[in-house]
Amino acid sequence: MAKRKRRRTRRVSSPPPSPPVEAGLISPRRPVPGGIGRPEYATDGEPSRRAAQAVRTPDEIERMRVAGRLAAEVLNEVCAAVEVGITTDELDRIGHEASITRNCYPSPLNYRGFPKSLCTSVNEVICHGIPDSRRLADGDIINVDVTVYHNGVHGDTSCTVLVGDVDEESRRLVQVTRAAMHAGIDAVKPGGRVHDIGRAIEAEVDRHGGRFGIVREFIGHGIGDQFHTSLQIPHYFDPRAGTVFEQGMTFTIEPMITVGPADMWMWDDDWTALTVTGQRTAQFEHTMVVTDAGVDLLTLPSDGEPAEERFAVTEVDATA
């Protein structure tokens, strides 16, 4: 996890547009057919403690392109099903079956005991929301976070989607969060440093006069044959994040942006993280590889638009 740093005062423009999210019932874990390859934690929940390299081989990168493409396809399928009245457990079923159909293991399943095949984080839930019996309501926003394991490697991607008629401030939040992710992506260049990503994201978020905050407690990460490697990608400027980008490095950029202050708390399930204020939060994520020219996004579908474009927010005035 990232270290905390002093935060600027963030203003909150209005009360939360919806009541607090309440936990629903969690259904039993969904089975994975025996013929599908599994990560090391699939049985006992414990990820490997072995050291992982930051730079991938050409073979690993090509396999990650396939895993990333499949993750993007699953994410598109799940996001297309988002509508008023659907349960997040049903979204998990859709994502689970979409993964299995593509001969993929849904990476979140039993990772450190996580009980479901994807994460669904609604409204003020920052990340790691567990799919359950709660039905999506008109005006909600939801982040769907999909990771799949295929042919020995992982692909990780997420998108925040609007549910029905969503208020303008929440739409603005989603738009700003997506722009922040792309600011971070655009900052990656061979010879640059990891802290360039956080600097760019901070600059993008701070353009909006203190309206939005950046979550510090959850960050991007290295990825490859392991779901999370030791490479850490803060979404805020930390001068200590001085790792130099090298061609072949693979990692995620996945900023979590809040309306107002980014202080958080956890439910006693030890997974669900929420804003202290009850204000909403959004997230977008891609997996990428450093190239000689910058980065290639690995979590793009083979055909059509990625979820972040397909379900993009209609432009609102982000400075209003």
The CATH number of the domain holding residue 271 is 3.90.230.10
Q: Any binding-site annotation on 285?
A: yes
DSSP H helical segments within the chain, as ranges? 58-80, 88-101, 168-186, 195-206, 307-310
Task: Confirm whether 19 is domain-assigned.
Answer: no
Mean pLDDT, residues 6-30: 80
pTM: 0.93
Q: CA 148, CA 203: separation in Å to the nearest integer?
A: 32
Q: How far apart are CA 78 and CA 24, in angstroms?
A: 20
Question: Is position 49 within any domain?
Answer: no
Considering the domain boundaries, does residue 171 fall inside one?
yes
Residue-wise pLDDT for 245-255, tens only, equals 999 999 999 99
Percent of the chain with pLDDT over 70: 94
d(CA 272, CA 166): 23
Beta strand 220-221 with 153-162 is unpaired
Q: Could you tell me which of 135, 117, 137 has the C-alpha nearest to residue 39? A: 117
Q: Model confidence at 312, in pLDDT bands (50, 70, 90)?
A: confident
At 176-233, the pLDDT tens digits run 999 999 999 999 998 999 999 999 999 999 999 999 999 999 999 999 999 999 999 9
Residue 46 inside a domain? The answer is: no
Number of domains composing the chain = 1
Sequence-separated (6 or more) residues with CB below 8 Å from residue 31: none
Is 59 annotated for ligand binding? no
Contact 257, 280 (CB under 8 A): no
State which amino acid sits at residue 241. Answer: A
Residue 4 included in any domain: no
Which structural domain, as residue segments, surrounds residue 174? Answer: 58-310
Q: Is residue 316 part of a domain?
A: no
145 in a labelled binding site:
yes
DSSP class of residue 159 equals E
Residue 1 is predicted with a pLDDT of 29
Q: Is 167 annotated as a binding residue?
A: no
Task: Report if residue 47 sits inside a domain.
Answer: no
Residue type, 141: I
182 is in an annotated binding site: no
Give domain status of residue 275, yes or no.
yes
